[in-house]
Amino acid sequence: MNTATITSAIKLSSDQRKKLLEVLKKKYRVTELEEQVDPEILGGLKVTIGSMQLDLSVKNKLEALKK
Amino acid sequence: MDIQIAQIIFQLINFGVVAGALTVLLYKPILKTLKQRAEKIAESQKAAEQILAEKDELDRVKKQELEKAKKESVQLVSTASKEAEEKKSELMANARKEVKAYVESEKEKWEKEKAQMMKNFQKELRDAVFLVTEKVISKGIDEKTHGKLIDESIATLAK
């Protein structure tokens, strides 16, 4: 069983959850999602699968702009 | 008047004895003394001439030495002046070099400090701008926009 931890600024809708699971299953063989809400990321998503992290949050984009 | 030959002879002998005695006892010593005195005077004169000659020679040497000393002193002063001038030039050149190096070092230091200050200022400004942006975004994004951002993220993941 491969679990992905999803962090978002607001709770995902069921449609978004479904789409996301489909994408992650296809690309990373993820079978389950674990959701977290963190307003600090400002928007977008942060996906953690094991030791791999895909940061697509607005906060991360702003940080990248800072550099 | 009778001429008494014996008396005359006697007188002549008497005169001869006296003259001989005077010659031996007085004339010769006086002559000898005079001769000695003349010799002494001549020697003294010769010595005086020699002394005068020596004095002239000494004067000449003295004058020569004085001129030599004068020349040497002039040369010494000239050399000393030249050396002092060279030393002065060298000191001035060194001082100028040191001042220039100091000014350049200070300028470089100041440029570095200025650049660092600018860098710090830019970083602080950037941080402040991003802080404000974050605040604005956190308060300004509505649920619809959040949904859109999440959809975009899912689309990015799908690529």
Please give the Cα distance from B153 to A56 (Å, whole number): 6
Does the CB of B108 have a partner CB in chain A at under 8 Å? no
On the question of pLDDT at A19 being above 90, the answer is yes
**Chain-chain contact of B141 with A45 (C-beta, under 8 angstroms):** no
On the question of pLDDT at B31 being above 90, the answer is yes
Does the CB of A21 have a partner CB in chain B at under 8 Å? no
**A33 close to A59: Cβ distance less than 8 angstroms:** no
Strand partners, A4: A33, A49
Q: Are strands A32-37 and A3-8 parallel, antiparallel or unpaired?
A: parallel
**Chain B positions in Cβ-Cβ contact with residue A54 (cut-off 8 Å):** 157
Does the CB of B98 have a partner CB in chain A at under 8 Å? no
Please give the Cα distance from B156 to A45 (Å, whole number): 10
Percent pLDDT > 90 in chain B is: 79
Neighbours of B158 (CB within 10 A): 13
Nearest to A60 by CA among B149, B121, B142, B124: B149
**Chain B positions in Cβ-Cβ contact with residue A47 (cut-off 8 Å):** 157
Buried b (16+ CB within 10 A) or exposed e, B66-91: eeeeeeeeeeeeeeeeeeeeeeeeee
On the question of pLDDT at A1 being above 70, the answer is no
Q: What ipTM, to 2 d.p.?
A: 0.90
Structure confidence at residue B1 as a pLDDT band (50, 70, 90)? low
pLDDT for the residue numbered B67: 96
Neighbours of A56 (CB within 10 A): 21
Of B133, B146, B154, the CB nearest to A10: B146
pLDDT for the residue numbered B143: 87
Segment B132-153, tens digit of pLDDT: 888 888 777 888 889 999 999 9
Structure confidence at residue B102 as a pLDDT band (50, 70, 90)? very high
pLDDT for the residue numbered B133: 85
Segment B32-65, tens digit of pLDDT: 999 999 999 999 999 999 999 999 999 999 999 9
Please give the Cα distance from B148 to A23 (Å, whole number): 17
Does the CB of A30 have a partner CB in chain B at under 8 Å? no
Average pLDDT, chain B: 93
Rounded to a whole number, what is the distance in Å from the CA of A2 to chain B's nearest CA?
17
**A5 close to A32: Cβ distance less than 8 angstroms:** no
Report pTM: 0.51
**Average pLDDT of B56-81?**
96
Q: What token pair was written down for B55?
A: 């004095």
**Chain-chain contact of A16 with B143 (C-beta, under 8 angstroms):** no
Q: What token pair was written down for A2?
A: 């491969």
Does the CB of A10 have a partner CB in chain B at under 8 Å? yes
Nearest to A57 by CA among B125, B156, B144: B156
Position with higher pLDDT, B129 vs B82: B82
**Chain-chain contact of B150 with A42 (C-beta, under 8 angstroms):** no
pLDDT for the residue numbered B135: 83
Of A10, A23, A66, the CB nearest to B154: A23
**Average pLDDT of A46-61?**
93
**Chain-chain contact of A9 with B153 (C-beta, under 8 angstroms):** no
Please give the Cα distance from B118 to B47 (Å, whole number): 102
**Chain B positions in Cβ-Cβ contact with residue A24 (cut-off 8 Å):** 157
3-state secondary structure of A52: strand
Does the CB of B130 have a partner CB in chain A at under 8 Å? yes
Buried b (16+ CB within 10 A) or exposed e, B33-56: eeeeeeeeeeeeeeeeeeeeeeee
pLDDT for the residue numbered B134: 82
pLDDT for the residue numbered B151: 93
